[in-house]
Structure 1
């Protein structure tokens, strides 16, 4: 097993000689890019993906269990409100709210939390990514 020092070494070389604030920005950018390979936040593609995700939340009936701002008739009270979900620290109170975790949660809720009441809807990865992109806009 490699030590954490072995992983930190390339990052040190990358930011060596830069100002502390710039170093932090470089590291944060790398961390964000590493965690979101197929999500295109902040681009026209991300907007189209989010719009498709909103459409999918309607088609799959997510509003029958969740209150979802911006989705007509999405006033369910079985599951938690999805208002401001893009700002939450955790999904279901157990998984850090990060794009890849959201995708995994949407594809297999019980895999993330065996006690969740959320049903497995049989979403494809593409559908889960689109819904995740939409939910990330709810901030």
Structure 2
């Protein structure tokens, strides 16, 4: 009986671990970072306060452009080619790219910018 309970407990623990293995959508080829952690980081930096972001609950009043379809846009920030390096630069230091932007510099770490960009580039 003890063996059966131990087996059931191990089976339940394994199921819980495996359920957490999927971090969400897979980033496009060549994109690094964890989209699941990026989605979480978006909420930690309160990006949804200004942007409409698929899969993230936020405000009904938006200052920034909606981010849906960002993965298919040819340009970001008006004039940058849409790739991960440029998106990370924009996320980390928007005023360096456009000094007149309303987007604040939130002190996003390089790792968070990598994960956030990995998530945003999955948005078709």
What's the TM-score once normalised by structure 1's chain length? 0.64
SS in 1 for 2:42: helix
- Listed one character per residue, the Cα deviations across residues 84-129 of structure 1 (whole Å, up to 9, x for unaligned) are 0111111121211111000111110011111211000101111100
What's the TM-score once normalised by structure 2's chain length? 0.72
Structure 1 residues 138 and 76, CA gap change in structure 2 (3 angstroms): farther
Q: 1:109 aligns with which of 77, 84, 94?
A: 94
| Mapped pair 1:66 → 2:51 | yes
Match of 1:134 in 2: 119
Q: CA deviation at 1:75?
A: 4.1
Q: CA deviation at 1:73?
A: 2.3
Q: 1:84 aligns with which of 49, 56, 69?
A: 69
Structure 1 residues 88 and 74, CA gap change in structure 2 (3 angstroms): farther
Q: 2:39 aligns with which of 51, 54, 59?
A: 54
Which structure would you say has the larger RCO, counting Cα contacts within 8 Å and 6 or more residues apart?
A: 2
Q: Show structure 2 runs of 5+ residues with no match.
A: 1-28
Separation in 1, partners of 2:98, 2:53: 21
Q: Over aligned residue pairs, what C-alpha RMSD do you find?
A: 1.6
- 1:52, 1:131 within 8 Å by CA — same for their partners in 2? yes
Separation in 2, partners of 1:95, 1:76: 26
